[in-house]
Amino acid sequence: MEICSYNIQYGVGKDGQVDLVRIADDVGDRDLICLQEVERFFPETGSVDQVGEIASLFPRHHWTFGPGVDLDADETNERGNVRHQRRQFGNMMLSRTPILSSRNHLLPKHGLVNSMSLQRSLLEGVIDAPSGPIRVYTTHLAHASPVERHDQIDAILALIRELPQSGGVWSGRSSPTHWTDVGAQPPMPARAMLMGDFNLTPLDAEYELLVGAYDVGHGRLARLDLLVDAWKVAGVGPHDQPTCVEAPRGDRPERHVRLDYLLVTPDLAQALSTVTIDTNAQGSDHQPIFATIDV
């Protein structure tokens, strides 16, 4: 399975122009695509439904979308009739095989006094992979507060760990007179992948919350209840290759940093064969991550 994770910055490329076709060209013909910073009906990007436009660019893929930010964008005409639409900002998932079920989990949010704070979410899709169902998660963590990211990571790890025990979008015994009788109970497998823009570097303390502490003599002390960084297992080229160019902020100069990740549960680590970063992509301020995994 060929995978891509890409923070598309609502289609605004390095030239400052909005171009979703360019995003599709950057992504290419991947089997599983996770996108962050997808908008709907924001005037700054033309008040278009980017979810619908992206879906039309991948007509052979199934898709689901999960907003964190969800605001009123209804329009009322002269007769008082309402055209319903929501101004949304969130994560999108596209899969060549069916997305058997999907949920959008809202993550902890802190109210900040001197910086913008957005509602963040974790989009879940159970993918019908060739070897059987697999959980896929995509997210975009808080940009301003390490404490907020810490709480969000705690919430994500708890969900990944506990959801197989609590079941999928419905579980238990179906009723022959209820809508659950239309198909089998949706699976909620243990193996999982998590990808997206985490807004942290491998040197930040939050990174060790995800993948375990590092010991000089023994390397990464990964635990079975944590995740494995795919780049460290199968990455090609220099470790911690940048995925984003951060603009100068205050006294801080421009930084080239790795903020985007693909993490897997330990049972999937050996299924990874390649992980690369497209350093030439121009569609966003981030670079897409590509991976090959045998699932």
pLDDT of residue 162: 96
pLDDT of residue 179: 66
Structure-model confidence comparison of residues 129 and 218, the more confident one: 129
Q: What is the pLDDT of residues 78-134, one digit of tens each?
A: 999 999 999 999 999 999 999 999 999 999 999 999 899 999 999 999 999 999 999
Region of poorest pLDDT, from 12-21, 147-156, 183-192: 183-192
pLDDT of residue 225: 80
DSSP, res 266: G
The pLDDT-based confidence of 180 (bands split at 50, 70, 90) is low
Q: Quick one: average pLDDT of 165-170?
A: 91
Amino acid at 213: A
pLDDT of residue 173: 76
Q: What is the pLDDT of residues 7-61, one digit of tens each?
A: 999 999 999 999 999 999 999 999 999 999 999 999 999 999 999 999 999 999 9
Q: How far, in Å, CA of 260 to CA of 14, rounded? A: 17
Q: What pTM value is reported for the model? A: 0.94
For the chain, where are the alpha helices, taking DSSP H only? 20-27, 50-57, 146-166, 205-211, 230-234
User: And the tokens for 236?
Assistant: 């090609």
CA quadruple 73, 51, 291, 139: dihedral, nearest 10: 20
Domain 2-71+85-170+184-293 has CATH 3.60.10.10: yes
The pLDDT-based confidence of 286 (bands split at 50, 70, 90) is very high
Answer whether residue 227 shows pLDDT above 80. yes
Q: Quick one: average pLDDT of 68-80?
A: 94
CA distances 243 to 135, 149, 151, 290, Å, are 24, 19, 24, 11
Structure-model confidence comparison of residues 218 and 196, the more confident one: 196
Q: What is the pLDDT of residues 130-149, one digit of tens each?
A: 999 999 999 999 999 999 99
User: And the tokens for 132?
Assistant: 């059987």
Q: Three-state DSSP class for 201?
A: coil
pLDDT of residue 214: 78
Q: Can you spell out the DSSP letters for 36-47?
A: EEEEES-GGGTS
Residue 157: CB atoms within 10 A of its CB come to 16
Answer whether residue 157 shows pLDDT above 80. yes
Q: What is the pLDDT of residues 242-268, one digit of tens each?
A: 999 877 777 778 888 999 999 999 999
The pLDDT-based confidence of 280 (bands split at 50, 70, 90) is very high
CA distances 44 to 51, 89, 90, 201, Å, are 16, 13, 16, 29
Say how far residue 95 (Cα) sits from the centre of its chain.
13
Q: How far, in Å, CA of 111 to CA of 175, rounded? A: 43
pLDDT of residue 218: 63
Q: How far, in Å, CA of 124 to CA of 106, rounded? A: 11
pLDDT of residue 181: 64
pLDDT of residue 221: 67
- The domain spans of the chain are 2-71+85-170+184-293
User: And the tokens for 249?
Assistant: 């902020």
